[in-house]
Chains A and B, each alone.
Chain A
Amino acid sequence: RKEVEQDPGPFNVPEGATVAFNCTYSNSASQSFFWYRQDCRKEPKLLMSVYSSGNEDGRFTAQLNRASQYISLLIRDSKLSDSATYLCVAIYGQNFVFGPGTRLSVLP
């Protein structure tokens, strides 16, 4: 089973900060990538897909580097409500492989 690894947490940042998470995947055959957000004891929810050309959704930017086999998530102007655990996912074939998650705490 190929792994997906993420930055160890927790990240404690002040409101308004910019924070970046990285995620590496070991299976070069991985086809699709996503970032999920998970609040404590709740189900993971899709934050955004990650496209080869990079993509942005409001304060969130995701990038994919296939050559180096990593994906990233940038959060600008952090809000208190961004506090959560962020999971990256790589899909190869029918296998969804989740990273262990990185915990973010945005402090007032």
Chain B
Amino acid sequence: EAQVTQNPRYLITVTGKKLTVTCSQNMNHEYMSWYRQDPGLGLRQIYYSMNVEVTDKGDVPEGYKVSRKEKRNFPLILESPSPNQTSLYFCASSYRLAGASYNEQFFGPGTRLTVL
């Protein structure tokens, strides 16, 4: 089954304790992205990656890191989480045909993070 998976689905942690949220897709998509979703603010892009070893900042990158060492994986790293990073996080992947725009994104099920 084609899918994007994220782990963990729920996480409660404390300020300053480094954490990683994993994301994996099995569709061979070159494009992957992380979003956070907060009430009233909609989906905001944190980082995206157009291919292996190619990453770039989205709208709200502060406090986050990513890496793309393999095509299928795109982990999100919070080196020193703070309470304002409490949010619902989604990973997504997409693809495009040669010379065309990107197609729709496929989303993972989300990770609900609480930082105390």
* Binding partners A and B: yes
Are A32 and B42 interface neighbours, CB within 8 A? no
Are B33 and A96 interface neighbours, CB within 8 A? yes
A94 surroundings in chain B (CB, below 8 A): 31, 48, 50, 56, 102
B81 within 8 A of A: no
A34 within 8 A of B: yes
Instruction: Give the interface residue-count category, chain B.
Output: 20 to 34
Main secondary structure of the interface of B (DSSP, over half): strand
Nearest chain B CB to A5 CB, angstrom units: 10
Stretch at the interface among B11-19, B63-71, B72-80, B107-115: B107-115
A31 within 8 A of B: yes
How far, in whole Å, are A32 and B45 apart by their CA atoms in the complex?
17
Q: Which residue of B is nearest A49, CB measured?
A: B104
Are A43 and B103 interface neighbours, CB within 8 A? no
Q: Which residue of A is nearest B40, CB measured?
A: A100
Interface set, chain B 77-116, CB cutoff 8 A to A? 88, 90, 92, 94, 101-110, 112
Contact digits for A38-59, partner B, Cβ 8 Å, 1 yes 0 no: 0001111110010000000000
How many residues from A make CB contacts under 8 Å with B?
Answer: 21
B41 within 8 A of A: yes
B residues with CB within 8 A of A: 31, 33, 35, 40-43, 45, 48, 50, 56, 59, 88, 90, 92, 94, 101-110, 112
Q: List 23 A-B contacts (CB under 8 A).
A: A32-B102, A34-B104, A43-B108, A43-B109, A43-B110, A44-B90, A44-B107, A45-B107, A46-B105, A49-B104, A87-B43, A89-B105, A94-B31, A94-B50, A94-B56, A94-B102, A96-B45, A96-B48, A96-B92, A96-B105, A98-B43, A100-B40, A100-B41
A residues with CB within 8 A of B: 1, 31-32, 34, 41-46, 49, 87, 89, 91, 94-96, 98-101
